[in-house]
Structure formats: structure tokens, C-alpha cells
A and B are shown apart, each in its own frame.
Chain A
Amino acid sequence: MTAATRTIVVGSLIAAVALRPAPAGATTTVATDGTTVTITVPIDLVGLPEDGGQITDMDTGEQHVYSDWLETKGEAIWNDAFARLPYRGCLTFDLDIQIHPVRSHLDRGHHRIDFDPFQPGNAVVYDPGVDHHNMDGTRAYTHPLLGDFGLITQETFAHEVGHLLGLGDDYLRDADKNVIDGAVEGREEGTLMHGSDSTTITQAIVDRVGALVDEVHDLPQCWTGTMEAVGSYGVDLPEGSLSCDYSWTAEFTLTVDDAGRAAGTGNAAIDPSSGCIEVLAPVGYPGTTPLSFEVEGVEDDDAFALVFTRDLVPTFPYHILTANPETVEIAKSDPCTAAASIEQGTEDFKRQAGVEGPGWDVVSTTHIELRCRADERE
């Protein structure tokens, strides 16, 4: 082994460790509901008193049950970052840490950590699925991992949870096992995975978690959509007839699962310079208040078929959004791009909106574009 190789081989995750066959069980699990991806990390903390032990919070001095405190702090550190930093721009991870203080080893698939207060704050998770401690790996999602923890801080615990999410260390050790300056190439210093003093979780770290989860669980694809609409409509008022020009834009996100089911949400906003806003607001027209909507449908190799819905009426002049339950076809020009321009007239609007009678005089053009992240299709 060369010195250069050794530099990255030493560290906190055992390389190429042979273990007895791991029991099938929960391990680190993933469940997707729309754009929320819940990651559950069950940990048997072996040797901790069954009452969970006690700890003094170093920030506040408050007393807590140690096992509960670890759960709370670990989840807070990770979920604060997950809430701010969606994966692929649309998926939000939600971490659920479940610590079970147990007095002896149980064969139930949980990650199994031996707790020993006689060591000075070390914490090690052994991942036989990676070749050295800097590597990310997916074994935590398929097998229980083992480890040894001393009495550790919240920062150290959150770092170890990173390992139970599959992340490798971002710090480096030299051949003498001393920590050296710098970080793994392409990673950052001063983060949660670079040491035990920081709780900083960056988008890059979230993306690494996402890539690991996706490798095992095929996360939904993320698409972003935009709509731009221009047109005019006529309104008969006691004071006389009005012809109202308008324009509005909308943005929305879509997730598409393996079966091609698409679902998402968005917001639309009318251009304040559109006509008739002040005149029609008293009779319930949307005005300039942003309008939230939902979208669902299917995707295949050639196109999306989407239905835009919303629960507010009246919907004028959001014609496409009033098309419920009519389906909008959006053809793909390549695997990661889809677009459509939809012309609508008075009869279209009457049919979609379920109104009858003369008038309306609708002329509308709505351009819809959908784009996915290119790296998801590679």
C-alpha cells in the first residue's frame, strides 16, 4: 500500500470488514409521500440504562433523558438542513431517529451501537460496505450497522447519524492516523461530516444523502414547470361591457414515480398591470393575490397528461387552471423537456368552466414548459 493510499484508508469506518450475515430487518428505511421522503434510523443503544440515562444540555444546562435528547438533537440538526435544502429542488427529507435503550443485543435489524462511557467521547460506526472511511455507501439501508459510542455530544451524534445515512467522513487522516488539514477532494471543511465541532449541513451533503437513498429506493424524479398566459375576456356589467386584457405566470414542481404517476403543487400570480382587476375584485375575481394549485397526472416516454386543479372559484382568468377535469397534453421534445402552447376561446372556456349564455369573448394562449434535472436522466 502506498503512503498516498494509506492517507485515505485510515479512519472511522472499518474497511472490508467481514461480518456474520446480518439479520433482515428495518435498518435505515425510506418512505416517500409526495415530495416528502421520510428516512427512519432505528438504533439499539446497547448498555444504556433502560430509562434512557440523563444528560445536561451544554447549551442550556437543562437536564434531559439522554436517549430522547440524542433523538431530538440529531433530528433537529438534520431536519433543519433538510427543510432548507431540498433534494433535486423538490424532495424534502424528514429524518426520524428512533433510539432504543437496551441492555443486551437484540436481533431485530436495528443498527446496533454498544454504549460505553469509559471511552473518551469516541463514536465509531463500522460500515463493511465501503473500502475506506471517506467513502459513501448504501449498506446502512440494507443491513444493520454496528458501532461503539462513548458518552458523546449532540454534534458527534449527528455526525454518526450521517454514517447511518451512508455518508463517509469528510476529514482526512495521514498514515499515522492523525487528522490532517483539508477535506476529501470535492467536499467541504467545517461541516458536520468534517468533524465533531460543527452542525453545518450543506446542499452537497444533502445531495449525497439523496444519491444514496435514490440508489436503493429509486426516489421520484423532479420536474419544474412554468406557465405563461396572455389573453383577454369580456365582461358585461351594469355600467357597460368591458374588454379586459390580462397576463399571468405560474411555477410548479412535479414528482414522477417509477410508475409514471405525477403529482405536484404550484402558485400562479396575475400581472398587476392586467386590466379590470380593481373593477372585478368586488365580485370575487382573484385579483393579484397569488393562487395556489395542485397538479396531477401521468408521464410516459412521449408526453405528460396533466390536470390542474384548485379549490378557489371563480377562476377567471386562469383558464388552464379552470380546465379541471380536462387533461392538458404536454409533449416532450427530449427526455427532459416538455412544452405545449394551448389556445382557448370562448367555447372552450364555457365548456371547462361549466357556464352558458352569451358573452365572455375569451381569447387565451397559455404556454407550458416542463424541465427535469438533466442528471436524473443520465
Chain B
Amino acid sequence: MSIGGRRCLAAAPTPGGAAIVDPTPTRSAGRGRRLRRRSLVALAVSAATACSGGPSAQPPEVGTGADVGAAAEVGTTAQVSTASEVSEVDTASELEAAITQFDDPGRPLSASLSVIHRHARERPDALRDAASRHLGTADADRRYAAVYALALTADDETSAARLREILDAADATERLVAANALVARGDKTGIPALIALLDVDEDVRFGVPPQRTWRAARFLLVQYTGQDLGLIGPDFDAARSAAAKPAWEQWWAEHGAALQWDADAGRFR
């Protein structure tokens, strides 16, 4: 599959945050620019060029209109503030809140996800740092939020290494999130983790809309490897997915070491 967007690592920070509503439409000069997806290493090398306005940089965005970045959250204290009034402390606390308030019982799941996505677009580096601080928390929901945020922002080898560690997590959803983030960036270490999930017939935690773990793993494996091995076909069910697992394990054992990421095709070959 050849699908992907990529954020500019050096995108200028955009003021505003979870508890801030700027009623004035503004141009989104700070929103991350998108690049065609390439391998993790290639992106890291090219990031500085892209973000400094080099040949890879995309044109600046025009008119933002309604902006999810301006969304206020339910269950938080909304206040109106100008951009200049936003301090670094506020920003840091908002980023922390994106993780620590993820499981706030009064907050809709979509609101929690929206905040993480917005920060991932506007302050990927800072969100990645915040996520990294909470990866070890014992609170499963907050740990999920941290993994999710890291998945969206893992633009360096350090965070990629953290994602690889999560592949051994006890929680299947955390493994799924990490594996997806890795393979989508061309890191094949996520593939065996996805294969291992083919017989996990449970809901993806915080799946929106709800989805089964095996179904998500099946979809990703086919999209990122181009292989069938028993996963392609109509009216698919959990039993067929589980039945395909041995063939995939064998395929990985035989071909995993030789797999190469084809950045143009957006899949492993």
C-alpha cells in the first residue's frame, strides 16, 4: 500500500490548547506540513531540510476555517485567551493533560483522541516527550494514551525503540498500536507482532468505531506486506484469521530477514 503523510519535525508551534478557544479564524501557519511517507531513517535525515523550507517542503496551508485544533474539550475548563497569553507552562500542562486526562470519566473518548491528534499535528516533539514520560505508568488507560501519542509522533530512533519495547506489552491493544506505528514507518519489527495478534478475538481498547483485534491485524498485514496467506477473502471471521496464523509465522520465519521497505510502494517487499 502506498499511503502516508508525514509531519515536519520542525513545524512552528501553534498557540492554543485543550482548554483554549480562539474565536478568531487564523491561518494555520504552525500546522505540521505533510510529506510523502518514506522510511523512518530517510525521514529523519530529510526532516530538517523539509522544515527549513527546502525542496521537500510543501506549500503553506491556506484558510483553516473550522479547525479541530480549536476544539474545546468537554469536562475541562474552557477559557478564551489570545495566543500571546499562552505560556510554555500552559502548553506543557496541556500536553500532560492530553495523557493524564485521557481516561477522565466525564470526557468523551472522541474528545480525548481529538486532543492527542491536535497536539500531534501542532507540537509533535513536545507530545512525544510527554508520552514518553507516561509509558511506564501503571494506569492502563493513561498508558494507552501515552502509547497512542507516541505512535503518532515517533519520528526518531529513540521513540522507535520505545515502540519496539511495547511490542512485548501484556496488553494486546498496546501491541497493536505500536506495531502499526512501526510498520507504517517502514520498521518491519512490527510485523511479527501483528501476526501474533491474528488469533486475538477481543475488542481493540478505545477502538473508534469498535473493532476486533484480529481484524485490525489482518488488515494491516495485508496492506503492508501485500501477502495473502489466507487472510484475503469475503465474509471473513475470527476462526479464519486464527487459522491463517501458522502460515504467516512460517512466511515470517522464511522471509522476514530479507524484507525491505519500499518507500515508493509504501509496503515491504
- By a beta-carbon cutoff of 8 Å, the part of chain A in contact with chain B is 1, 6, 9-23, 46-49, 53-61, 66, 103-107, 109, 112, 114-124, 126, 128, 132-133, 143-144, 146-148, 150-151, 153, 156, 159-160, 169, 171, 173, 175-179, 195-197
Separation of A115 and B205 alpha carbons in the complex (Å): 21
Binds A, one of B27-35, B47-55, B87-95, B247-255: B27-35
Partner pick for B110 among A12, A22, A59, A143, CB 8 A cutoff:
A12
Residues of A within 8 A of B180 (CB): 118-121, 150
B73 — which chain A residues lie within 8 A by C-beta? Answer: 14, 17
Q: Which of B24, B65, B103, B211 contacts A121 (CB 8 A)?
A: B211
Question: Which B residues are CB-close (under 8 A) to A54?
Answer: 1-3, 265-266
Nearest Cβ on chain B to A267's Cβ, whole angstroms: 36
Nearest chain A residue, comparing its CB with the CB of B75: A1
Query: B36: CB under 8 A from chain A?
Result: yes
Q: Which of A23, A47, A147, A176 is the one whose CB lies under 8 Å from B65?
A: A23
CA distance A173 to B113 in the complex (A): 15
* Chain B positions near chain A (C-beta within 8 angstroms): 1-5, 21-25, 28, 31, 33-34, 36-37, 58-68, 70-74, 78, 103, 105-111, 113-114, 117, 120-121, 141, 148, 151-152, 154, 173, 176-177, 180-181, 184-185, 203-212, 215-216, 218-220, 222-223, 226, 228, 231-234, 236, 265-266
A-B contact pairs, 24 of them (CB 8 A): A10-B107, A12-B208, A16-B74, A17-B74, A17-B111, A19-B71, A20-B65, A20-B66, A22-B65, A53-B2, A59-B232, A59-B233, A66-B3, A105-B28, A112-B65, A114-B117, A118-B180, A120-B173, A120-B216, A146-B67, A148-B68, A148-B114, A151-B3, A195-B210
A118 in contact with B184 given A18-B70, A56-B226, A151-B220 (CB within 8 Å): yes
Name the B residues within 8 Å of A153 (CB-CB): 215, 219
Set of chain A residues within 8 Å of B113, measured between Cβ atoms: 122, 124, 148
Query: Known contacts being A20-B70, A104-B60, A119-B151, is A13 close to B108, with CB within 8 Å?
Result: yes
Q: Are B71 and A17 in contact (CB under 8 A)?
A: yes
Closest to A53 in B: B3
Q: Which of A19, A53, A147, A196 is in CB contact (< 8 Å) with B209? A: A196
Please determine whether B63 and A107 come into contact, CB atoms closer than 8 angstroms. yes
Could you tell me the distance in whole angstroms from the C-beta of B236 to the nearest C-beta in chain A?
A: 7
Partner of B62, one of A60, A107, A115: A107
Q: In the bound complex, what is the Cα–Cα distance between A195 and B216 (angstroms)?
A: 13
Are A59 and B209 in touch, CB under 8 angstroms? Answer: no
Q: Is the CB of B78 within 8 A of A55?
A: no
A116 to B34 alpha-carbon distance, docked (Å): 10
Query: Known contacts A123-B208, A177-B141, A177-B206; can you find 10 more A-B pairs with CB under 8 A?
Result: A1-B106, A17-B74, A21-B25, A22-B65, A47-B4, A56-B222, A104-B34, A107-B62, A119-B117, A195-B210
Contact present for B68 and A126 (CB under 8 Å): yes
| Contact in complex: B105, A175 (CB < 8 Å) | yes
Min CB gap B15→A, angstroms: 14
Contact for B58 among A1, A18, A103, CB less than 8 A: A103
Residues of B within 8 A of A66 (CB): 1, 3
Contacts of A118 in B (CB 8 A): 151-152, 154, 180-181, 184-185
Give A109's nearest chain B residue, CB to CB. B65
* A105 and B210 in contact, given A148-B114, A151-B3 (Cβ under 8 angstroms): no
